[in-house]
Amino acid sequence: MELFDLTGKVAIVTGSSKGIGRAIAERLAEHGARVVISSRKPQPCEEVADAINARHGEGRAIWVPANIASKDELQNLVDRTREAFGQIDILVCNAATNPYAGPMGGITDDQFGKILQNNIVSNHWLISMVAPEMVARRDGSIIVVSSIGGLKGNAVLGAYNISKAADFQLVRNLAVEFGPSNVRVNAIAPGLVQTDFARYLWENPEILKRATEPAPLKRIGQPDEIAGAAVYLASPASTFMTGQALVVDGGVTIAG
C-alpha cells in the first residue's frame, strides 16, 4: 500500500459531483487523501462530500462550488481549500464542457470559445493558482483529465478534440517547466465512459457500436475504471512519470 498511500495529502478535484470526477475523489479519499469536491451546483457537491465523510470520517472531504469559467470562483476554491487543509498536494483538472456536436463549419463562435475557455484556459488558470506552492515545497502532482479524442480526428467532436489535444500540450509544457522543482504534470486520456457528460454518445446505438466493435474489450468504460489511473498519478507509485498521457480506453486506440 505504500506505493499508493496518500495519507496526509490534500486533493482538489474539479467536476467531482458525479461521473469520472466523483470516482476519482472517492478513490483518492479511500487511499488516505483529504479531498475537495467542486462543481457548479452546491447541492450535489455537498452530497458527495457527505458520503465520503460518512465512509472515511468527518473532515476527509469538504465541498466548494465553482464555475470553471470564472477566475474568481476558481481562486475562491483554492483559497477555501488552503483555509480548511493548509495546502494543496494534488490537483485534478477534470471539469470540462462540450456544448456542440457536429461538423466544424456549424459551430458558433460562442460555442467554440466556451469549449476552449473551459477545457484549456480554465485549466491554465487553476494550475497557475496552485503550482507556486507545489514548486516552493518541491512536491506535487497535477493531473489533467483529457480524452483519446485529442489523439484522433473526428467529424462530430472536432472542437472538443482540439481542446483535448491542447490539454496534452499544456501538460507537456508544464512538465518541463515544473520538473526541476519535482512537481509532476500528467494527463489521463479516457475512451468512451458511461457518464452523463457522454450520454449522447453511448445512448446512440450507432455511435456505441462504432466505439465498442474495434475495442479489444468490446465495451465502454465505467467511471471507477478511470479513477485508478488518477490514484497512480497522484501517488508515490508514479514519482518518475511526468509529461505523459495515460490512455485508458479499453484498447480502442490500438485497434480502431
For the cut 80, the answer to whether the pLDDT of residue 199 exceeds it is no
pLDDT, tens digit, for every residue of 222-233?
999 999 999 999
Would you state the cell numbers that stand for residue 60, as one nine-digit string? 476527509
Give the separation between CA 170 and CA 174, rounded to whole angstroms. 6
pTM (predicted TM-score): 0.95
Give, to the nearest 10 degrees, the angle between helix 158-178 and helix 122-137. 20
Task: Report the helix count and the strand count for the chain, using DSSP H and E.
Answer: 10, 7
Which position among 100, 160, 200, 232 bears the catalytic label?
A: 160
What's the distance, CA 121 to chain centroid? 14
Range of the domain at 188: 2-255
CB 85 within 8 A of CB 108: no
Q: Report CA Rg, the chain.
A: 17
CB 44 within 8 A of CB 18: yes
| Helical residues (DSSP H) of 144-223, grouped into ranges | 158-178, 199-202, 205-212
Q: Is the dihedral of CA 244, 245, 246, 252 positive or negative?
A: negative
Average pLDDT, the chain: 95
Query: What percent of the chain is predicted at pLDDT more than 90?
Result: 86
Give the separation between CA 205 and CA 44, rounded to whole angstroms. 29
Number of structural domains the chain divides into: 1
- In this structure, what CATH number is given to the domain that contains residue 180? 3.40.50.720
pLDDT, tens digit, for every residue of 6-45?
999 999 999 999 999 999 999 999 999 999 999 999 999 9
Give the separation between CA 222 and CA 224, rounded to whole angstroms. 6
pLDDT, tens digit, for every residue of 121-176?
999 999 999 999 999 999 999 999 999 999 999 888 899 999 999 999 999 999 99
Sheet holding 90-93, edge to edge: 61-63, 34-38, 10-14, 90-93, 140-145, 183-190, 245-248
190 closest CA partner among 225, 224, 159, 148: 148
Q: What single-letter amino acid sits at 49?
A: A
Q: Reduce the DSSP state of residue 11 to 3 states and report it.
A: strand
Give the separation between CA 211 and CA 175, rounded to whole angstroms. 31
Give the separation between CA 182 and CA 5, rounded to whole angstroms. 18
CB 155 within 8 A of CB 103: yes
160 among known catalytic residues = yes
